[in-house]
Amino acid sequence: MEERVKFVLDEKEIPTHWYNILADLPEPMPPVLHPATKKPVGPADLAPLFPMELIKQEVSTERWIEIPEEVRDIYKMWRPTILYRAKRLEKALDTPAKVYFKYEGTSPPGSHKPNTAVAQAYYNKKEGIKRITTETGAGQWGSALSFAGACFGIEIKVYMVAVSYHQKPYRRVMMEVWGAKCIPSPSNETKSGRAMLKKDPDCPGSLGLAISEAVEEAVSRDDTHYSLGSVLNHVLLHQTIIGLESKKQMEMAGVYPDIIIGCIGGGSNFAGMYLPFVKDKIDGTKPDLRVINCEPASCPTLTKGPYAYDYGDEAGLTPLLKMYTLGHDFMPPPVHAGGLRYHGMAPIICHLYKLGLVEARAEHQLGTFKAGIDFARSEGIISAPETNHAIRVTIDEALKCKETGESKTILLAHSGHGHVDMAAYEAYLSGKLKDYEYPEAMVKKSLEKLPQV
């Protein structure tokens, strides 16, 4: 068997600062608007939800923001993560392409999510917050924040999208092991949850609805803040540790990527990988760099949604964000890539997409699982269903190189393992999984309720 090639950084080389893309954007981001007044939000509007340090990070235009020592100490449990050359996959595909992947599955919860969960728990702890509510789709974010809560002694309550709650029981168990409380959303514990259950007692839930429940509870208690695992600027900021490490490791390998590929739901993992590289595209040093955002055909936010102001949640409690959206009351089908079932997208990614600096592609479920199995059989790692979307496009791009004879360098953002997603793999292997493309007519219907700005 081909020897595995890996590029390993020393613990001392963990980045000391996160990279903030807001300092280098060619055009400023559209403002975030208050849901009631439709005017730009200020720090006081966000204070019931977030600690002030995170609010500052959300709007900062400083290029580098220091990572607190206490956060870096916890990062050392799994960072720096390894960059691998996927030589076995290259051989299996018989491609001249060079494929590298940055593997985030070695964190205790098994994904990239603790990169921001630890930071958010730290800043809340510093502000004296005792409880945090949050939502989770597939459970990766919920388990990561539960882990971070255990690190800092903060009580965590997670509203988990109901279909994933039942599809992925071991994610719930992970949260409970770390001391968190996890309940299926929609629930009877909030006004927005009860309203949905009255309308549809069998509602499978959505990330938008779970966000509504978590926000509603957070604003009702003085000892509680809310935490979001993706979408917002400060979350993407914390994830840039992935891209900063990757840049050092690609230098070790003596190459620079021609194409960077990753999966997007809210977009934090992949943006965390590519934002430090996109800076090179913006400043003109690497103008030909391609960045491909991969989403499910069942939740085609960038590829089918309009660029418009919308709520981040189903009930309309959150500020209005300018993003590509399928409509805040979009109810996604119960595909297994639960972490990609979000109606909107990180405003930073949307802004870069609008400016033509990044691309987007939608993939069907069956093809992504086929790619995940091909990856496991060549590289040994069983990937999360979300990550399989990026693996599908990575394989497709490598096969294009086989056709053209080009030796392109491809960098894959591998967001986490699929060890608690065996039910999804079992469904695929037994022929029970189906492809689902979200119909244009249903997208149009959902968009009828976009807020007027």
The pLDDT tens digits of the residues spanning 189-228 come to 999 999 999 999 999 888 888 989 999 999 999 999 999 9
pLDDT for position 126: 97
Any bridge partners for residue 261, and if so which? Answer: 292, 412
Cα 245 from chain centroid? Answer: 18
Of residues 442 and 15, more confidence is placed in 15
Give the mean pLDDT of the chain.
93
The Cβ of residue 40 has, within 10 Å, a number of other Cβ atoms equal to 14
Cα 342 from chain centroid? Answer: 10
Question: Tell me: the pLDDT tens digits for 415-450?
Answer: 999 999 898 899 999 999 888 877 777 778 878 888
Q: Is the pLDDT of residue 83 over 60?
A: yes
State mean pLDDT over 276-283.
97
Q: Please report, rounded to a whole number, the percentage of residues in the chain having pLDDT higher than 70.
A: 98
Place of tokens 């540790």: 241
CA atoms within 13 A on the CB side of 18: 28
The rounded distance, in Å, linking the Cα atoms of 304 and 321 is 17
Of residues 146 and 433, more confidence is placed in 146
- The DSSP code sequence of 312-375 is SSSSS-SPEEEEE-S-TT------S-GGG--SS--HHHHHHHHTTSSEEEEE-HHHHHHHHHHH
pLDDT for position 25: 97
Confidence of residue 168 (pLDDT cuts 50, 70, 90): confident
The rounded distance, in Å, linking the Cα atoms of 383 and 414 is 8
Of residues 342 and 179, more confidence is placed in 179
Choose among 276, 267, 246: nearest CA to 64: 276
Which tokens in the block code for residue 453? 């700005």
The Cβ of residue 396 has, within 10 Å, a number of other Cβ atoms equal to 16
pLDDT for position 150: 98
Q: Is the pLDDT of residue 344 over 60?
A: yes
Q: Is the pLDDT of residue 339 over 70?
A: no
Q: Which pairing describes strands 98-103 and 409-414: parallel, antiparallel, or unpaired?
A: parallel
Which tokens in the block code for residue 321? 């964000």
Choose among 243, 212, 187: nearest CA to 15: 243
Q: Is the pLDDT of residue 2 over 60?
A: no
Q: How far apart are the first and last CA of the chain?
A: 59
Specify the 3-state DSSP secondary structure of 95: coil
Q: Is the pLDDT of residue 372 over 90?
A: yes
What lies within 8 Å, CB to CB, of 420 at 6+ separation is 110, 139, 168, 170, 171, 174
The rounded distance, in Å, linking the Cα atoms of 27 and 294 is 24
CB-based contact 387:263 (threshold 8 Å): yes
Confidence of residue 368 (pLDDT cuts 50, 70, 90): very high
Which residue spans within 215-300 are E strands per DSSP? 224-226, 259-263, 290-296
pLDDT for position 238: 98
pLDDT for position 329: 80
31-40, 278-287, 434-443: lowest mean pLDDT where? 434-443
Task: For the chain, count helices (H), then strands (E).
Answer: 18, 15
> What's the topology of domain 5-13+69-110+233-447?
Rossmann fold (3.40.50)
Whole-model pTM?
Answer: 0.95
Confidence of residue 63 (pLDDT cuts 50, 70, 90): very high
Of residues 1 and 225, more confidence is placed in 225
CA atoms within 13 A on the CB side of 334: 15
Confidence of residue 3 (pLDDT cuts 50, 70, 90): low
State mean pLDDT over 105-134.
97
pLDDT for position 141: 94
Sort 170 into a burial class: Cβ within 10 Å, 0-12 / 13-18 / 19+.
middle
